[in-house]
Amino acid sequence: MTDPAQEPTSETATLGHSNRSRVPAYEPFRDQVATTAVPANTDPFSGIDADHDSPLATELIETERLRRTLEASEFPRPSGTRVIAVSNQKGGVGKTTTSVNLAAALASKGANVLVIDADPQGNASTALGVDHRAGTPSIYEVLLDDASIASVAQRCPDSPSLWCVPATIDLAGADIELVSAVRREYRLHVAVSELLARDGRHLDYVIIDCPPSLGLLTLNAMVVATEVLIPIQCEYYALEGLTQLIKTIEMVKKHLNPAIHVSSIVLTMYDQRTNLAREVAHEVRTHFPDQTFPQTIPRSVRVAEAPSFGKTVMAHDPHSPGAVAYLAVAKELAERGVAAGGTQ
């Protein structure tokens, strides 16, 4: 998995690695941009008397303060590769957006990250700027033709430590084709295990963007993953399918993958101006207090338009509230992993 423009093409090429370190704890903000304590002599905004009658100005200042704090810090890196399935059978809740922006945020802080696009729509491939036209070697060849992940992965143009296994239109029929395959639930597990034993042994994260269904593609992702990250849109309908998703994860845990668990829940498309968004956030945090991130992802035009440029919001507009929110979530994700499994 190498950059053809800089290195010779080879399946045996090693994914990049660097020194790993732990950073001081960070308290992410809840629902709104938090006030970050910055010494007055180093705070470029200390001379600005924000008008408290202007919430927008106050929010912009606090967002920029937080961004600078996050940019100046280092994220802890796990002692072993974390395999995370981003899943929710309801469509439109921000699965792909969360997958690619968390991956980009982690990579921007030095982590080696592989995104596997397991959604036939191929939106993660688009956002990461990799080729996924029909005929491009993709996750389909990995699942159905036993191709190695290293042979189909592409380095993302905006980050040297971020790779993507693309999805093409061929994947649309994979659920049906996998029905007759030998050990159909374990196809992705075998491929990822081989990767981590060889070319990808220095990867910090493998993030799998699942389709909006509970079919064989999602099942393959859950069999190989040790963690499930669930994005939940802050609207009522998003709560209805959560029970079924949790049951599916419990069935996978019982029969196929004892290590899997719901490690994280991200509240997306949060609009603090509406009672509904606050009520949904409260309900989720009440039922899943340990898994739900304090940080929410706000509705953002920059987040929505970034894929049209073939970029994540981290590359498109790193100063936007959506980018800063994803960076804060990425740090919390990294710190939770270290707390659970250590660092090096």
Q: List the CATH number of the domain containing 259.
A: 3.40.50.300
Which residues, in sequence order, are CB contacts of 76 under 8 Å at separation 6+? 20, 21, 22, 23, 334, 335, 337, 338, 343
pLDDT score for 28: 42
Residue with tokens 């990579």: 107
pLDDT of residue 66: 66
296 contacts 39 by C-beta, under 8 angstroms: no
Residue 15 lies in a domain: no
> If you average pLDDT over residues 158-162, what whole number do you get?
91
Q: Record the tokens describing residue 82, joined without a space.
A: 């974390």
292-298 and 205-209 beta bridge pairing: unpaired
Instruction: Give the pLDDT of residue 40.
Output: 45
What pLDDT does 241 receive?
77
Mean pLDDT over 239-256 rounds to 88
pLDDT at 39 over 60: no
Q: Are 330 and 113 in contact (CB under 8 A)?
A: no
In the predicted model, what is the mean pLDDT of the chain?
83
Domain assignment present for 108: yes
Tell me, what amino acid is at 31? Answer: D
Q: What residue has token string 């045996």? A: 12
**Is the pLDDT reported for residue 37 higher than 70?**
no
Burial code of 188-204, b = ≥16 C-beta within 10 A, e = fewer?
A: bbbbbeebbeebbeebb
Confidence label for 36 from pLDDT (cuts 50, 70 and 90)? very low
In the structure encoding, which two tokens stand for residue 179, read together?
């029905």
CB 50 within 8 A of CB 19: no
Q: Decide if pLDDT at 1 tops 70.
A: no
Range among 12-16, 34-38, 59-63, 315-319 rated most confident: 315-319
Answer with the residue of higher pLDDT: 271 or 27. Answer: 271
Percent of the chain with pLDDT over 70: 81
Residue with tokens 């370190």: 21
C-alpha to C-alpha distance for 34 and 295, rounded to whole angstroms: 9
- Residue 18: strand, helix, or coil: coil
Asked if residue 20 is part of any domain, the answer here is: no
String of DSSP letters for 84-148:
EEE--SSTTSSHHHHHHHHHHHHHHTT--EEEEE--TT-HHHHHTT----TTS--HHHHHHS---
Q: What is the DSSP letter of 166?
A: -
Asked if the model's pLDDT at residue 217 lies above 90, the reply is yes
pLDDT bracket for residue 218 (50, 70, 90): very high
The domain tally of the chain equals 1
Distance set, CA 214 to CA 167, 205, 309, 328 (Å): 18, 23, 30, 29
Q: For residue 338, name the pLDDT band (cuts at 50, 70, 90).
A: confident
3-class state of residue 168 by DSSP: coil
pTM above 0.85, yes or no: no
Does residue 230 fall inside a structural domain? yes
Question: 191: domain range?
Answer: 79-341
Per-residue pLDDT, 47: 53
| Each residue's pLDDT tens digit, 6-24 | 544 444 344 444 444 444 4
Helix (H, G, I), strand (E, B) or coil at 230: strand
- The 10s digit of each residue's pLDDT in 129-150 is 999 988 899 999 999 999 999 9
Place of tokens 């399918």: 241
Residue 268: its H or E element: strand 261-270
* Any domain includes 11: no
Q: In b/e form, how buried is each residue of 240-275, taking b as 16+ CB within 10 angstroms?
A: ebbeebeebbeebbeeebeebebbbbbbbbbeeeee
Helix, strand, or coil here: 232?
strand
Question: Mean of the pLDDT values across residues 36-52?
Answer: 53
Q: At what angle do helices 55-72 and 321-341 cross, to 10 degrees?
A: 40
Over range 83-111, report the average pLDDT. Answer: 92
SS3 content of the chain, % helix, strand, coil (to 5): 45, 15, 45
Q: What is the pLDDT of residues 92-104, one digit of tens each?
A: 888 999 999 999 9
279-329 residue pLDDT tens = 989 989 998 999 999 999 988 888 889 888 988 988 888 888 888 999 999
CA distance 211 to 91: 8
d(CA 212, CA 296): 21
Whole-number Å distance between alpha carbons of 218 and 97? 17
